Structure 1
């Protein structure tokens, strides 16, 4: 995943870890080029926490660091057969398809699996994106498998509607229990259980309960797992003096973005968990104001 760390020092701001941009018409590239014109230097192909640590950046002369590494750690179901060929995280699938332009393969170097019978696990906006991408890449059928009912689906209603318009099937109140493979270790199907809704859980949604004896099999040759993501651990695991919560997110002052490590701020999904772009933008602005105060007045 893209990693952004912005550092202030005399001469401007340095942003580490942004992949190299080649398409000037790309919206994100336009934003990057605008920042470059303001004096920001972009350091490509750097993984902060692996190629360089935060302390090493301070040693290089940087005065302040902003961490915005996001929640880029894919989550899986942890069910038997998960290592079969044909099971991908939505992160990888959509990165290949969109950022790396795999839909143009072999004109580009990045391939992407194009299943005929595709299953997407999850019911959020990322799941809808994955399902519609799979359909547009030539799948004969695409099924969204979700353990709750339509009312509990977290995706926007418009996303669900558009997915159904494109022929995506909704397999609701269905929970996968096992992946099935052939003699070559390739995915050929998935065992599922039918569910019913019980009492609400901590999230306020009714808890799905398995119906005993309701096992059935779904044929599939590609499964895209879109059940959420966790905190990107590459940087945080190498920064022991920066406090994390039980989910691995960085603990910050909610009004300033200050972390427990001096001269380090954080914001976005690495703090809140997977959320919205607008919240991340707001966090960045709050942190920028706080960084300005720090550089002017001190910590």
Structure 2
């Protein structure tokens, strides 16, 4: 089995390094920017190839372009070069399903999306992190090639339905992108107390790291701490009052909205219905104004 890439960005380079280090054979990389393909080939000890060479000489072709170009590139290759019946064509987008590859499917290919749940910055560092990364995949056709790749890699993985791809990706956005936004709000509050931003970032990062570790070991229900799970009404009220006095209405709204959702977890921990109703009333009262 030979694996080729159309597109030689950070994802292709990082995944290519990981495949090569795991003992899988690469046919090579094609990119509209020759320099990118050559760099990827150098990093993986493979080849920089013409588009037709990748398409014709690869058992599995990963289209690793930006998301909004995946379908367009697939169609162009299908029309200009042609895929081979029984070939496996895949992309690595987190949000898009294998439906983006329907023209390859029409030419008798197996079509899949395979997504590693991690961010890619530096290709070499990303390849190292891939060893502990979860993969989600879905698609149509013979699963043999994708299954073989995942078996060799040994990563934890799950097949999902194409219809659930957006839900899957939104979970990643909340856990990664929106976590940054949430922590930025906490950092801003520390700054407002007079702590400089660099130290605030360190403090909040350490706290969040401990929380994430607790979730991994205990699940969210047991990892939850703080005034809501304790039913500490006076502390919650004092937080809301502090935001009001400082004019931090956006953060106040975030706090209230997250608090309402946190009550669902607190209920699983045995917080009484009376306490839940009391806190819910406090959080809802005039806390979602502009």
- TM-score bracket for the superposition, by shorter chain length: under 0.3
Which TM-score applies when normalising by structure 2? 0.25
More strand by share: 1
Higher relative contact order (CA 8 A, sep 6+): 1
More helix by share: 2
Which TM-score applies when normalising by structure 1? 0.24
* Structure number, greater radius of gyration: 2
